[in-house]
Amino acid sequence: MQNFIHEPKIFYTDTGQPEGPPVVLIHAFPFSHEMWLPQVEVLNERWRVVTYDIRGFGRSDPGDGEFTIDQYVDDLFLLLDALQIEQATVVGLSMGGYILLRAFEREPGRFRALVLSSTKSAADDEAARTGRERAIDTIHRQGLRFYAEDFAKKVFAPQTFTLTPQIIDHQLEIIETHPPIGLQGALRALASRPDTTAVLDRIAVPTLLLFGEEDSVTPPALGRAMQGRIVGSELVVIPQAAHLCNLEHPEVYNAHLLSFLEGLGG
């Protein structure tokens, strides 16, 4: 099923088994719910699977383009409430992980388990904030396609450009459909997001960390540092994959995700 919740208008999909354990997937910047299609296909067999477009991306309303991470968290809770999901396993990749960590910090009881992928808990430092300001200017001056092609070089492994370029081409097409104001607002939200490192020590639900071996944006070392603070967590490093490890090697990503979910039971 595809639908919207309102105020703001947020597009979501609700598929799989209606009575199954709910799994919610939060996409990365600057993509959309479609980046999870390789995972949704396999999860649908047993779980209730919810994906959505973050405010300002895909079919969700960009509003005035002024966002914060806490507004993104509010949207997540609004979606869970609208779907009558009291507690879920939530998967967040990159920006999705930032949202997930802040959401857990605010309302830990809403989460049965966490999957943190290609993400980190630290806030942006000055260099990162400056980089986001440059990105905002690039989108304004040179357009989404130029920005997207440059961004892809940072988040996909070199071999993906050679072996499976269609994966990258599809994501570039999706980025081009976003309203520029949505991406620019997201960049500001990411630059101003709070540090959530302290919450890592308080995570007491099952947690899986999935990172790409060749990720230069969020290297596996960040995953190892997070694993060291989250009691009982599991870290998996996916070979020959970079930041978008769920797309570059979906069969490996899915195998570990399914194993984790099956281990939760119910």
pLDDT, one tens digit per residue, over 214-229 is: 999 999 999 999 999 9
pLDDT(1) > 80: no
The reported pLDDT for the residue numbered 194 is 97
pLDDT(266) > 90: no
**Mean pLDDT across the stretch 80-96?**
97
The reported pLDDT for the residue numbered 4 is 72
Q: Return the beta strands (E) in the chain as ranges.
A: 2-5, 10-16, 22-26, 48-52, 88-93, 111-117, 207-212, 234-238
Q: What tokens appear for 177 in the block? A: 């459909």
pLDDT(2) > 70: no
Give the distance, in angstroms, between the CA of residue 196 and the centroid of all CA atoms in the same chain.
Answer: 16
Q: From residue 61, give the alpha-carbon distance in Å to each of 1, 4, 18, 54, 56.
A: 19, 10, 26, 9, 5
**Mean pLDDT across the stretch 166-187?**
95
- What single letter denotes the amino acid at residue 102? R
pLDDT(121) > 70: yes
pLDDT(5) > 80: no
Beta carbons of 62 and 182 less than 8 angstroms apart: yes
